């Protein structure tokens, strides 16, 4: 299965990096994995459209062509990122804005969006929102699932929210990573 991991965290020694390693170490040999590490790629998250960059030409932007090629190639998507201020990192949001564009990932109909992509996805987020608030909190793991990927034709989508990361012990972090490893082995 062609598996595309889209990863966003600036610290290569972070817990998110440990999540990424756990996922890649535990995917079966049936997965052909490509990684987009947005920070390592120095991905430019700024969406530009003006006279030189018309919005209708975003599907042909040479700066994002390799990413569109990988998105088209993928059958399984894995997104790994922290939730900061109830949102995904700006670099991840910019990736979505610049790559999952109209005419490529979807098109507008009279009443909704029709997706051009296919496949399934797994979203793994980390944050420090207290667990009892998590079900009510707006976060971009949920937004990515319900408003972006679904609209682009990617489903089903599984979400794992790893909460309280800064306040828990190393032993509790290892338990969370063990659960991620089990899920990775099953996809």
Interval 125-149: pLDDT, tens: 998 876 666 665 556 678 899 899 9
Model pLDDT, residue 169: 95
CA angle 35, 36, 38 (to 5 degrees): 145
Interval 18-34: pLDDT, tens: 999 999 999 999 999 99
Structural contact between residues 59 and 104, judged by C-beta atoms closer than 8 angstroms? yes
First to last CA, the chain: 10
Where exactly are the structural domains of the chain? Answer: 2-186
Give the residue carrying structure tokens 């062509």: 65
What integer is the mean pLDDT of 156-163? 92
- Give dist(CA 149, CA 88) in Å, integer: 14
What CATH class is the domain 2-186?
Answer: alpha beta
Model pLDDT, residue 140: 62
Question: What's the half-sphere exposure (Cβ side, CA atoms, 13 Å) at 148?
Answer: 22
- Give dist(CA 116, CA 81) in Å, integer: 24
Interval 97-124: pLDDT, tens: 999 999 999 999 999 999 999 999 999 9
- Give dist(CA 105, CA 96) in Å, integer: 10
Q: Give this prediction's pTM.
A: 0.94
């Amino acid at each position: 299965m062609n598996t595309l991991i889209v990863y966003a965290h600036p610290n290569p020694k972070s817990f998110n990096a440990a999540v990424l390693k756990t996922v890649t170490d535990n995917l079966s040999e049936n997965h052909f994995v490509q990684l987009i590490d947005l920070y390592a790629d120095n991905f430019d998250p700024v969406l530009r459209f003006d006279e030189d960059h018309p919005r209708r030409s975003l599907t042909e932007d040479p700066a994002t062509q390799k990413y569109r090629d990988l998105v088209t190639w993928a059958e399984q998507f894995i997104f790994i990122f922290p939730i900061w201020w109830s949102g995904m990192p700006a670099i991840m949001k910019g990736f979505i804005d610049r790559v999952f564009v109209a005419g490529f990932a979807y098109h507008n109909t009279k009443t909704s969006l029709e997706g051009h992509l296919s496949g399934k996805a797994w979203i793994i987020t980390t944050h420090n929102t207290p667990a009892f608030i998590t079900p009510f909190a707006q976060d971009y793991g949920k937004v990515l699932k319900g408003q972006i990927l679904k609209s682009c034709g990617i489903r089903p989508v599984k979400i794992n929210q790893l909460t309280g990361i800064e306040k828990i012990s190393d032993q509790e972090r290892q338990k969370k990573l063990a659960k991620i490893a089990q899920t990775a082995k099953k996809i």
